[in-house]
Amino acid sequence: MVESNLSFSQIILNSPKLVWHEKYVPLNILSTLHALHINLNYKKSLEDKPISWLQGLFAVIVMSLGGSTTSAILCGKAPHWLASNTTITTYLIIYFLIFYIPFFHRFCNSIPKMILDPILLIADGILRTYSIYSMIDNILFEMNDEPLLKNSWVAILLCGTLSGCGGSIWVSAFQMKSPNWSFTTPSTFLEPTYDMKISFMITLFYASTISSSSWMIFQKFNLDNLDQRKIWAIIGMAGLNLIKLKETLKNDNNNNDDNNNTQKPKML
């Protein structure tokens, strides 16, 4: 039983590094699903309004990698995707397929939302959690040249939260989901979004479990090693994402019912 639990944990923890095929398609599986999630939502928000290919690609990159990039810059480190030949390539390929290959876009839309959306949101949750705990681990265990950051809860909470939702802040600030960009007050500053709230919650949970002051508390809940804490953070984020999906589907059904009612002919 222990071995099966350990193998399951390792599969989950290693999932952000899995690729379709090492030789022929060395693209990350979860990044591909995440790119699909971002591009489908972006195209839907544009409502077929024309944009240049470079504008669209830049917006997708900001939506996908803006949070981790912002956190890395704040910590004085290069963003991880700069050292990868496949990360930007993955988002570029999916962007091209969604926006310039109509058949592929129609095929994605033909998949029932009850099947596709949970898969995409779970992939999104795993990647966001991976980004969060990687940033926190980097601050606490790897930044030996910045010892003051290791004791800074401001750095941990700010950079961890931004790693999980920072891209949406930039998108909101520059209205990147519209064809014409302009700077405005980010909506997340007026009212924190659901994504910001859950990113902060997961950041606080994971940071609390690895701090020396709370180690004994979480040891009682069998969270006495780093991998188990990461697993629970991933489960928490994925679960909160699925709760959001449930509410979204409920609202969509209500809207469809309202539209159907308005389209029914009135009896004289």
pLDDT tens digits, one per residue of 191-200: 999 999 999 9
pLDDT at 264: 53
pLDDT at 209: 86
Q: Which of 29, 87, 39 is nearest to 60 (CA)?
A: 39
Q: Is 262 inside a domain boundary?
A: no
Instruction: Give the domain range for residue 42.
Output: 15-252
Q: Is 117 inside a domain boundary?
A: yes
100-113 residue pLDDT tens:
999 999 999 999 98
pLDDT at 153 over 70: yes
Q: Is 267 inside a domain boundary?
A: no
Q: Is 128 inside a domain boundary?
A: yes
Placement of tokens 């949070």 in the chain: 67
Q: Is 39 inside a domain boundary?
A: yes
Amino acid letter, 46:
L
Residue 18 has, within 13 A of its CA and on its CB side, a CA count of 14
Q: Is 127 inside a domain boundary?
A: yes
Q: How many domains does the chain have?
A: 1
Q: Is 257 inside a domain boundary?
A: no
Q: Is 260 inside a domain boundary?
A: no
208-246 residue pLDDT tens:
887 655 545 555 555 567 888 899 999 999 999 888 887
